[in-house]
Amino acid sequence: MDLQIHASATRTVPPAYRKVLVPWSVQGQLNPPVITNAKGSYFYDQDGKRYLDLTSGYVAVSLGHGHPKVVKAIQEQAERMCWVASSYFNDVRAEYAELLNTISPWQEGLRAHFACGGAESNDDAVKIARLVTNRPKILTAYRSYHGGTIGASSMTGVDRWRDAMPGMPGVVKFFTSYPYRSPFFTRNPGEEVDRAIEHLKQVLSHEGAHNVAAILMEPVVGSSGLVVYPEGYLKRVRELCDQHGILLIFDEIMTGFGRTGAAFAATRLGVVPDLLSFAKGASSSYTPLGGVLVRESVARHFDDHLFDVGHTHAGHVLTVAGGLAALKVYLEEGLFERALEIEKWLQEGLGELQRRHPVVGDVRGIGAHFGIELVRDRESREPLVEWHHPGGSVPMKAFYGEMLRRGVHAYGRYNVVIVTPPLTISKDELQEGFDALDASLTVVEKGL
């Protein structure tokens, strides 16, 4: 994560705050604002300063902060019951699974397994795939992110996998299509897809396709570059999986629940996986909810085999109540479709920034899920910051520092800035974000 929140050197932080280890940060360099409350598209610090949440936290708070219907549902569930063992049936879990079934990409239906976050969900999805296929290997992509547990870190395809060394065995990486910065030495989208698929075929040949339980991938790459695959790529990956009896798992931790302009990216893109992991937007992160949706034909395996997957907090009824209420709000307020409207705003606003600022090399995205890639030279596409630059860089620190100074929260990885606003954001609120991006890109360009 390249979120830079060092901010004001004059801010005094009480010693008690130093007792908390802040994720993805060198602790001695931290001096972030102390956030005390939030509402709608904004959150506020202890001094009353307002910040526009331009990236929905970490692409998580899709309903904005404090939606009253979700808050009320959590309160009512807390009064009734906060926890019950996952070995018992429960009305809230059942209602949520039924409602999830109505938005799933599978006509045959699904069964749901619940967890507490994205990394845990991806770990569980892989375990399910191995149990069903009795195969050991998992293929995941370079330039991917799947979470911070040892298993999910092992499956992650950028340098952060080193954090958990030694990692989970049986994970094999491959290169996926990346049109702007092709690993297959082409700028032709059709050729890019052909070469990417041929590469994947070779990996399967060398690893033994009969040894591969699943291919796990983000249908749209999230924090590791915000890459939208060219037309036809995912369809052909699906065909390869079918050919070899490999399960296809979509990591929809970021892309699920309306982020791409449909309930799931699988639906928007027209490619159906066998399992689908989710979290973040599921409850708008009001509660720590995640899980795995399993298509019925795969889940049926466990009718006469042990489903050896679970956690103390699997299906925690308080978290599930938050997810159920959030899903009802998404459907009642038409927010899956509203992401299509936001898509147009982002195309226009970010496109204008690209025209104004030579440092913006590429703008790409789908729904309310966009990224801007910063470069030193548009013609050569030299990145502003090398992908494996250790820690934060001077240009990006200046960029995020200016964004925060102007009261806008944003984050990204290396030279790619993520722009993923709440699905409830107004056009005027989004314009505040564009204005801050404009000013912050100017700061970067002056420093080059």
In the block, tokens 């979470």 appear at 147
Both 226 and 291 in one domain: the answer is: yes
Q: Last residue of a domain, which of 297, 332, 367? A: 332
In a domain, residue 230? The reply is: yes
Residues listed for the chain: 448
- 294 with 263, same domain? yes
C-alpha angle with apex 69: 68 to 73, nearest 5 degrees? 115
Q: Is the pLDDT of residue 74 over 80?
A: yes
pLDDT at 161: 52
DSSP state of 410: -
pLDDT at 167: 84
Domain membership flag for residue 279: yes
The verdict on 232 and 102 lying in the same domain is yes
CB 157 within 8 A of CB 141: yes
Q: Are 260 and 220 in contact (CB under 8 A)?
A: yes
Could you tell me if 435 and 313 lie in one domain?
Answer: no
Considering the domain boundaries, does residue 223 fall inside one?
Answer: yes
Measured at the CA of 323, the angle between CA 317 and CA 282, to 5 degrees, comes to 135
Residue 2 has pLDDT above 80, yes or no: no
Q: Of the residues 282, 314, 332, which one is the last residue of a structural domain?
A: 332
d(CA 216, CA 275): 9
Give me the pLDDT at residue 398, please.
Answer: 92
Longest dimension (CA), the chain: 65
Task: Please give the pLDDT value at position 4.
Answer: 45
For position 160, what pLDDT does the model report? 63
Confidence of residue 163 (pLDDT cuts 50, 70, 90): low
Residues above pLDDT 90, as percent of the chain: 85
Task: Indicate if 253 and 393 belong to the same structural domain.
Answer: no
DSSP reduced 3-state for 52: strand
Mind listing the pLDDT tens digit for each residue in 312-360? 999 999 999 999 999 999 999 999 999 999 999 999 999 999 999 999 9
Do 413 and 156 touch, CB atoms closer than 8 A?
Answer: no
How far apart CA 432 and CA 54 sit, in angstroms, is 9
76-107 burial by CB neighbour count: b if 16+ within 10 A, else e?
Answer: ebeeeeeeeebeeeeebbeebbebbeebbbbe
- The answer to whether the Cα torsion of 318, 320, 326, 332 is positive or negative is negative
pLDDT tens-digit readout, 256-284: 999 999 999 999 999 999 999 999 999 99
pTM for the structure as a whole? 0.95
124 with 177, same domain: the answer is: yes
Q: Residues 55, 121: one domain?
A: no
Q: Is residue 447 pLDDT above 50, yes or no?
A: yes
Residue-level pLDDT at 7: 47
Same domain, 59 and 87: no
CB 86, CB 314: distance < 8 Å: yes
241 within domain boundaries: yes
What pLDDT, on a 0 to 100 scale, did the predictor assign at position 370?
Answer: 98
Note the pLDDT of residue 392.
Answer: 62
Q: The domain that contains 303 carries what CATH number? A: 3.40.640.10
Q: What is the reported pLDDT for 389?
A: 58
3-state secondary structure of 173: strand
* Torsion of Cα atoms, 145 then 367 then 332 then 320, to 10°: 0
SS3 annotation, 202-257: HHHHHHCHHHEEEEEECCECCCCCCCECCCCHHHHHHHHHHHHCCEEEEECCCCCC
The residues pairing with 417 across neighbouring beta strands, listed in sequence order, are 372, 412
Same domain flag for 149 and 91: yes
Whether residue 396 is contained in a domain is answered as yes
Q: Identify whether 5 is part of a domain.
A: no
Which amino acid appears at position 83 of this protein? W
User: Is residue 341 a contact partner of residue 423, using CB atoms and an 8 Å limit?
Assistant: no
The region that residue 294 occupies, defined by phi over 0 for left and psi between -120 and 50 for alpha, beta otherwise, is beta
Mean pLDDT of the chain: 93
Task: Record the tokens describing residue 185, joined without a space.
Answer: 């030495």
Quick: pLDDT tens for 107-162.
999 999 999 999 999 999 999 999 999 999 999 999 999 998 999 999 998 876 55
Q: Is the peptide bond before 166 cis (omega within 30 degrees of 0)?
A: yes
Single out the residue of 163, 96, 156 nearest to residue 122, CA to CA.
156
Neighbour tally for 367: CB within 10 Å: 25
Q: Is residue 125 part of a domain?
A: yes
* Domain containing residue 386: CATH number: 3.90.1150.10
Residue with more model confidence, 153 or 203: 203
- Give the end of a domain, one of 317, 332, 347: 332
What is the band of 442 on the pLDDT scale with cuts at 50, 70, 90? Answer: very high
On whether residue 358 sits in a domain, the answer given is yes
Q: Alpha-carbon distance 434 to 438, whole Å?
A: 6
The single-letter code of the amino acid at 139 is L
Q: Do 305 and 404 sit in the same domain of this protein?
A: no
Percentage of residues in the chain having pLDDT higher than 70: 95
Which amino acid does the sequence have at 103?
Answer: I
**Least trusted range by pLDDT, from 17-21, 225-229, 247-251, 259-263:** 17-21
Pairing of strands 369-377, 416-419: antiparallel
Return the number of other C-beta atoms located less than 10 Å from residue 215's C-beta: 28
Please say if the pLDDT value at position 6 is more than 50.
no
Q: What angle do CA 405, 406, 412 make, to 5 degrees?
A: 80
Q: Do 80 and 56 share a structural domain?
A: no
Nearest-CA neighbor of 284 among 84, 20, 23, 53?
Answer: 53
Domain of 83, in residue numbers: 68-332
169 versus 3: the higher-pLDDT residue is 169
Segment holding 382, helix H or strand E: strand 382-383
**76 shares a domain with 55:** no
* Domain total of the chain: 2
